[in-house]
Every structure is written in structure tokens, then in C-alpha cells.
């Protein structure tokens, strides 16, 4: 490992993760498990109640023509209470994966929700400034995303991120799942939308090939966004997982480059933000102030 390259954050059971780790406080705990690409499981505990959310679920070994490395044990995502869906591109909205989660609300833009319902999936469109209560003390709302460079003719092209606000025992934890987006000025106002600082951002830093198209963030831009939004910590997503079939023509190591670069860029551009670079399947418990 070269100097300045961040190590992956420890999984649960090591320092900094797991039940009873640094994140738990007065019965409030939020644990993140990155399943690769943009799929993150949020396990929330408020007192004796457990709530499970999952973002942009890709639960199979492929998404369209794309292939993924690493499998996903079902017990990590089974029993989810809601899905947070950012948009309908094939590497985020995979109907077979959504059906695997059962009849749970898929919280997304109204246009995307209608498309889901037409496929027998419980799409729930949220309006501007609407908070959806998943469980007592666990609320979700949409936030903007700018991701219109590659419109799809047969799927809706709306895009959004999500805020998850957990309030319990006088404490608040805010998770910002950006979705696929480029930077925009109103990102600075994200904490104001939540009414509390962003404890952790799930920020996209790469893609499924060595080059990024428009409407995405690279490691440098992602670090700058985290700085401007005042995020206390950030978990890079949308990297290190998907690839085209074969892939022998791709440069060695490209799948891991974006996540590691984000750790370096965050240290330089967002010194107040802690980068948490997880391996696929790795977990981390959010510190709650």
C-alpha cells in the first residue's frame, strides 16, 4: 500500500464497528453495510426497535450486461422495511432485485414510482419537502440530484437523492444518500433540509468503467461536495463492483482506484470529513454526537 493510501475501514466486530461500537448512544444506532456499487443497507436501532433500509438494491450477480464481483448473503438485506431508489438506470433499478425484497415501499420520485408500479413493485413517490415515516423516529425525504446526461428512451429519467433522519432520545443522526449526481450549488443547503448536520454521506465516486460520463462525481469532486455540505463522514459508493463482461482490456487495478483516491482527496479537500472506505460487504457504525 503506497503512502497516503487509506486503509479500508474495519468491519463490524473490529474497532469502530458493530453493535455497541462507537456509534451507539442512548439507544440510537445506525450501522451501514456496503454491498457494492450503490447498494447500502442501513440498520437502524431506536431503543428496542430495529429498522432496515436499503439503497439502490442490486442483489444478483449481474445487472443487465454488467457483471459484479463478490456475492451477497441474503441475511444482510432480508427483512428490509423500505427501499431508497435514486433513479431508473439499469445499474440502480433492477426489477428482479426489487422483487426479492418483497412488498416494501420503494421511496423515489413520482415518475419513477409510477414506472415501478407498472411492473408490480410498490413504488411510493414522494413530493417536494415530504418526509415519509418508515418507523417511529426514522424518516426519509428526497433531495435533488442532477443526472440527465444519458436519458433512457424506455425508462423514466427522474433522479433524486435521499435524506434519512433518525431521532431518538434527544439525539439525531442524518444520512445523506446522494444517488448519481453531479455537483450543484444547493448541496450546501443539505443540512438545512434535514434540520441537523450530515453525519455521513453515501457519495458516488466512480462507475463501472475506467471513465466517467457526465452527471457523475469523481473522487476529487466528491470530496469537495462533502466539504461544502459539511458532512462529518463519507462512505464512497458507485465504485469497485460492476464491470463489463470480460474486461481484459481494462487497465489493471481500475476497479479499486476511485475508492482509494477518494480517501486521499478527502484528506486534502475536506479535512473535517472522515473518509470511510469499506470493502464490499464491510460495515461501519456511524458515530452519533
User: Minimal CA–CA distance to 204: which of 174, 173, 225?
Assistant: 225
Q: What are phi and psi of 91, to 5 degrees?
A: -90, 10
Cell numbers that stand for 187 in this block:
448541496
pLDDT in tens, 262-276: 999 999 999 999 999
* Site of grid cell 455497541: 20
Rounded Cα–Cα distance for residues 205 and 127 (Å): 27
Kindly list the structural domains of the chain, giving each domain's residue range(s) and its CATH number in brackets, ordered by start. Answer: 28-285 (3.60.15.10)
Chain segment 63-118, per-residue pLDDT in tens:
666 777 777 889 999 999 999 999 887 777 899 999 999 999 999 999 999 999 99
Of residues 22 and 49, the one with the higher pLDDT is 49
pLDDT of 207-260, one tens digit each?
665 556 555 788 999 999 999 999 999 999 988 877 677 665 666 677 788 899
pLDDT tens column, 174-200: 999 999 898 899 999 999 999 999 999
Q: Provide the whole-model pTM.
A: 0.87
* In the predicted structure, residue 153 carries a pLDDT above the cut 80: no
Q: Measured between alpha carbons, how far apart are the two ends of the chain, in Å?
A: 32
Amino acid at each position: 500500500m503506497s503512502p497516503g493510501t487509506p486503509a479500508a475501514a474495519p468491519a463490524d466486530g473490529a474497532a469502530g464497528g458493530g453493535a455497541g461500537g462507537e456509534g451507539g448512544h442512548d439507544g440510537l444506532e445506525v450501522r451501514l453495510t456496503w454491498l457494492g456499487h450503490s447498494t447500502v443497507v442501513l440498520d437502524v436501532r431506536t431503543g428496542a426497535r430495529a429498522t432496515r433500509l436499503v439503497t439502490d438494491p442490486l442483489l444478483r450477480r449481474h445487472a443487465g450486461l454488467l457483471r459484479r464481483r463478490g456475492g451477497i448473503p441474503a441475511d444482510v438485506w432480508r427483512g428490509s422495511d423500505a427501499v431508497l431508489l435514486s433513479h431508473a438506470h439499469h445499474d440502480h433499478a433492477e426489477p428482479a432485485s426489487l422483487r426479492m425484497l418483497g412488498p416494501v415501499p420503494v421511496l423515489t420520485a413520482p415518475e419513477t414510482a409510477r414506472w415501478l408500479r407498472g411492473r408490480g413493485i410498490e413504488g411510493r413517490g414522494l413530493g417536494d419537502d415530504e418526509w415519509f415515516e418508515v418507523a417511529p423516529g426514522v424518516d426519509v425525504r428526497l433531495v435533488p440530484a442532477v443526472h440527465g446526461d444519458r436519458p433512457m428512451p424506455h425508462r423514466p429519467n427522474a433522479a433524486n437523492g435521499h435524506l434519512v433522519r433518525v431521532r431518538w432520545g434527544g439525539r439525531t443522526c442524518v444520512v445523506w444518500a446522494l444517488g448519481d449526481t453531479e455537483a450543484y450549488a444547493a448541496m450546501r443547503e443539505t443540512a438545512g433540509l434535514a434540520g441537523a448536520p450530515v453525519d455521513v454521506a453515501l457519495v458516488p465516486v466512480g462507475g463501472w468503467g475506467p471513465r466517467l460520463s457526465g452527471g457523475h462525481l469523481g473522487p476529487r469532486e466528491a470530496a469537495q461536495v462533502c466539504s461544502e455540505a459539511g458532512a462529518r463522514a463519507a462512505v464512497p459508493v458507485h465504485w469497485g463492483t460492476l464491470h463489463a463482461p470480460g474486461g481484459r482490456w481494462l487497465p489493471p487495478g481500475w476497479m479499486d482506484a476511485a475508492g482509494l483516491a477518494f480517501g486521499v482527496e478527502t484528506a486534502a479537500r475536506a479535512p473535517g470529513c472522515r473518509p470511510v472506505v469499506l470493502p464490499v460487504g464491510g460495515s461501519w457504525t456511524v458515530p452519533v454526537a
